[in-house]
Amino acid sequence: MRYERPTTLQAASQLLAKEKGLAYVLAGGTDLLVRLRTGFIEPDLIVDIKRIASTRTIAKTATGFKIGAAVTGAELGENAALKKAWPGVVEAANLIGSKQVQGRATMTGNLCNASPAADSVPALVAAGAKVVIAGPKGKRTIPVEQVPVGPGKTSLKKGEIIEAILLPKRPAKSGDAYLRFIPRTEMDIAVVGVGVSLTLDAKGVVKDARVSLGAVAPTVLLVPAAAKAIIGTKLDAKAMDALAAACSAACKPIDDKRGTKDYRIKVAGVLAKRAAKIAQQRAGGK
């Protein structure tokens, strides 16, 4: 196995593109190293991206935030401007593992691990986040929800690497939230996860929204019908019931040791209501 630490995206991309065997990117390593040590994978090449400057910074820009692919969960939690603008996204990222894991784990790694139960991904999808992908043919930008295509599988092509996650600039009176249900109180895999982001008008009416679900389908879901259910409302009881119904209807879960299909479908609606209320309060609504 070869271990490389390039200092540029171009060099990293070239290493990945030229490798004929199994190649993996190392950002935090909290998923990769576990799989390696347990013998689940046997890489021919590991490309460590932490020496690439653009992957290690959080930048506030005119259009929002640019979060490097190797920025850790701990660093996200220490960034006051990011926490103020996107509290739900930061909270979701900070649910990944223990305090020790937080010092290594990255949102981009969580995304590229492509687990349907990833905590940070529903929050990113609800936020309308995008990723900047660098590859042999240059750079391209796509929505976060287009990265995972199935459990453990992504849409990234050979030689491509995610440089950063882009979060849009928030309009006034906006809020977001992420909630999950787990069997234990800490450090467990989500049975269901729900992300909600919304914007209110001057009268407290929802004028824009995005809702996403995790752990209820092969990939994290964006649920337009759930957003439609609350847009134009003040999140009254009727709107909240419609939100819950839309989320439950979108679920395509499996039965496993963590929960049954019916349980996941029910919990998705319950969590959506709760997350929407938190997002509303953060947006300055009542």
Q: Write down the mean pLDDT value for the chain.
A: 96
At residue 186, the pLDDT reads: 72
Q: In the predicted model, what is the mean pLDDT of residues 191-198?
A: 97
Residue 188's pLDDT is 85
Residue 153 has pLDDT above 90, yes or no: yes
Flag whether pLDDT at 258 surpasses 90.
Answer: no
Q: What pLDDT band is residue 187 in, cutting at 50, 70 and 90?
A: confident
Task: Please give the pLDDT value at position 124.
Answer: 98
218-248, pLDDT tens digit by residue? 999 999 999 999 999 999 999 999 999 999 9
Q: Which residues of 74-93 are buried (b: 16+ CB within 10 A; e: fewer)?
A: bbbeebeebeebbbbbbbbb
Please state, in angstroms and rounded to a whole number, the distance separating the CA atoms of residues 47 and 252. Answer: 35
pLDDT tens for 15-39 read 999 999 999 999 999 999 999 999 9
Counting residues of the chain whose pLDDT is more than 90, the rounded percentage is: 95
Whole-number Cα distances in Å, 54 to 11, 134, 160: 13, 12, 15
Closest CA to 250 of 285, 274, 214: 214
Q: What percent of the chain has pLDDT over 70?
A: 100
Q: To the nearest 10°, report the CA torsion of 223, 227, 228, 231.
A: 180
Both tokens assigned to 50: 């932490």
Q: Is the pLDDT of residue 185 over 80?
A: no
Amino acid 283: pLDDT: 97
Query: What pLDDT is attached to residue 116?
Result: 95
The whole-model pTM stands at 0.96
- φ and ψ at residue 124, rounded to 5 degrees: -65, -40
Cα separation of 88 and 178, whole Å? 5
CB 126 within 8 A of CB 195: yes
Residues 190 and 286: their CA atoms lie apart, in Å, by: 28
Average pLDDT over residues 108-130: 97
CB count in 10 Å sphere of residue 170:
18
| pLDDT tier for residue 183 given thresholds of 50, 70 and 90 | confident
Reply yes or no on whether the pLDDT at 197 is more than 90.
Answer: yes
Which residues, including other chains, have CB under 8 Å from residue 245's CB and lie 6 or more apart?
A: 229, 269
